[in-house]
Amino acid sequence: MIFKQVFDIKTSTYTYLIASAKGREAVIIDPVIENVNEYIQLLKELDLKLVKVIDTHIHADHVTGAYKLKQATNCATLMGEHTPADAVEIKVKDNEKINIDDLNIRSIYTPGHTSESYSFLLDNYLFSGDALLINGTGRTDFQNGNSKDSYHSIFNKLLTLSEDTLLYPGHDYNGKKVSTIGNEKKFNPRLQVKNIDEYIEIMSNLNLTKPDMMDSNVSRNIQLGAN
């Protein structure tokens, strides 16, 4: 397997390029529009063909590069079936398999940060989008976010994975690149709760400011960054 983690400094977003070393087919998860040329150059350097581009959810803090990548490479766009983006070509259900050559990616419906959030599991690599972060969890105060859903997605789905599962989040604001499910169970401060009510209390009192350009970004992302 070929694996590359690309960081966008402006929005602290992680984009992931995953490919089969055998057939040279690749998928990109959560691309940022300003970095599309960098992804294309990486594909060329590694002699890879991009076949699918995945967004874990409709992002508020950046514009997706999905449409631009499709225009450049003729790849297919993919999101979970709950997405409001009608332009998405492939909409996967919970627990559906996505095949890239000899790689098998499993979709996991993980609402909470947004109502359409999905995570994706490849072997022991978990790409959690904003559902579960390193030492944090995705905020739940806009885009049909829901703290109760977030709790169930994390505790009843993601934390049931093997403790050595590698966690690759959609963002990190402190320079961390990877964690494990085991580490998050032990050390993530938002997960050290006795019950769902305690988690909801934490999430209800974060008092975070909304991302710059949020409304514009969401509108553009529903069009996969096309307008």
Q: What average pLDDT score do residues 117-136 get? A: 98
Q: pLDDT, tens digit, for every residue of 187-198?
A: 999 999 999 999
Per residue in 139-177, pLDDT (tens digit) is 999 999 999 999 999 999 999 999 999 999 999 999 999
Confidence at residue 212, expressed as pLDDT on a 0 to 100 scale: 87
Task: Give the pLDDT mean for 94-101.
Answer: 96
Q: Identify any residues that bridge with 108 across adjacent strands, giving them in sequence order.
A: 119
What topology is assigned to 2-210 in CATH? Metallo-beta-lactamase; Chain A (3.60.15)
Residue 137, pLDDT above cutoff 80: yes
Mean of pLDDT values over 5-30: 97
- pLDDT above 80: residue 227: no
Mean pLDDT, the chain, as a whole number?
A: 97
Mean pLDDT of 197-204: 97
Q: Of 89, 87, 40, 128, which is closest to residue 220 (Cα–Cα)?
A: 87
Q: What percent of the chain has pLDDT over 90?
A: 97
Say whether pLDDT at 103 is over 90: yes
pLDDT at 96: 98
Q: What percent of the chain has pLDDT over 70?
A: 100
Question: What own/partner pairs with CB < 8 Å and gap ≥ 24 does 34-39 have?
Answer: 34/8, 34/10, 34/65, 35/6, 35/8, 35/65, 36/65, 36/68, 36/69, 36/72, 38/6, 39/6, 39/15, 39/65, 39/69
pLDDT tens-place string over residues 58-81: 999 999 999 999 999 999 999 999
Q: Rounded mean pLDDT of 46-66?
A: 97
Are 14 and 5 in contact by the 8 Å Cβ rule? The answer is yes
Pair type for strands 2-8 and 13-19: antiparallel
pTM: 0.97
> Residue 215: is its pLDDT beyond 80?
yes
